[in-house]
Copies of this chain bind each other. A is one copy, B any other.
Amino acid sequence: MNKNEIESIIMKYMPEKDSFPPLSEAMCYSVQNGGKRLRPLMMLETCRLFSGDTSQAEPFAAAVEMIHSGSLVHDDLPCMDNDELRRGVLSTWKAFGEPTALMAGDALMAYAFETAARSLLMPHPERAARAMSVLADSAGTGGVCLGQTQDMQFTGKEPDGETLEQIYIKKTCALLQASMAIGALIGGADDEAVKIVDEAALHIGLAFQIRDDILDVTADEKSLGKPVGSDSKNNKTTFVTIYGLSGAQKAVFEHSALARALMLRLPGDKAFFLDLIEKLENRNN
């Protein structure tokens, strides 16, 4: 599955841009300005591993991307990271003003659950019910919101490596873990397989986030598509400040290796994930 296919699925579930401006405009603007679409991609590909019906996973795939986009909208707000640019264009609050951006983030979260709820009407409602709990937990107190709160708490302070890893697990890994776990659940995986998938996603997420720390130091702005050096500017402790560049990249390789080993224990054709893990550990943007 490629990025274009994923984006057409996401957009199929979004409200029309002009349906209730400016809120619908701000919601669409935030979701359209997408990145790698890793979460929905990993969800649907995990569902495929278990020969699951991806059409029941599609509402969740769109939902997880709405939640991710909404969290970035709130993350960019002046009281958080105060970012005026996101992926080379104006951040949502800079384009639509703070009140509309705040509400667009909230509305994306609500719309995500409205979208995911469609899966409850499909052939395996009991799987969708479990997936709904997993999604909500990872979006909130078990993931994104907790991680962002801790991230703000430790800005300007110096968390040790273990604390930093715990923050990354909440801030970045939780939603990736939920994505793969939901793909597995909807695909009909048993509890043991869901656990393996969840752990693999944890290591993919850590490798991803630590590689991000490295790129913030080593990449050039043009290939990265965003300003470099922002961690140091924002006084953020990262894996690079704690372990150095080579120590951090070593951690990326280690987590990737662990993810690979876990994936090989799963059924189905793992080519997509093995390729993804390799791309992510060496990525330059």
Contact = CB atoms under 8 A, between A and B. Distances in A.
A159 interface: no
Interface in A69-117: 71, 74, 77-80, 98-100, 102-107, 109-111, 113-114, 117
A145 interface: yes
Given A149-B23, A149-B100, A110 B129 contact: no
A15, A104, A113, A144, most chain B CB atoms within 10 A: A113
A140 interface: yes
A72 to B, nearest CB: 12
B79 A99 contact: yes
Contacts of A144: 106, 110
B107 A109 contact: no
Nearest to A77: B102
Contact of A22 (B109, B120, B149): B149
Interface in A1-24: 15, 20, 22-24
Identify whether the interface residues of A are mostly helix, strand, loop, or mixed: helix
A133 interface: yes
Contacts of A103: 74, 145-146, 148-149, 152
A276 interface: no
A132 interface: yes
A125 interface: yes
Contacts of A107: 140-141, 145-146
Contacts of A139: 106, 110
Contacts of A137: 110, 114
Contact of A106 (B78, B106, B126): B106
A164 interface: no
A99 B149 contact: yes
A49 to B, nearest CB: 25
Contacts of A274: none
A136 interface: yes
Given A121-B129, A141-B24, A136 B149 contact: no
Given A79-B99, A129-B120, A106 B145 contact: yes
A137 B110 CA distance: 7
A105 B70 CA distance: 13
A136 B111 contact: yes
9 contacts: A23-B146, A100-B152, A106-B140, A107-B141, A110-B140, A110-B145, A114-B141, A120-B132, A125-B125
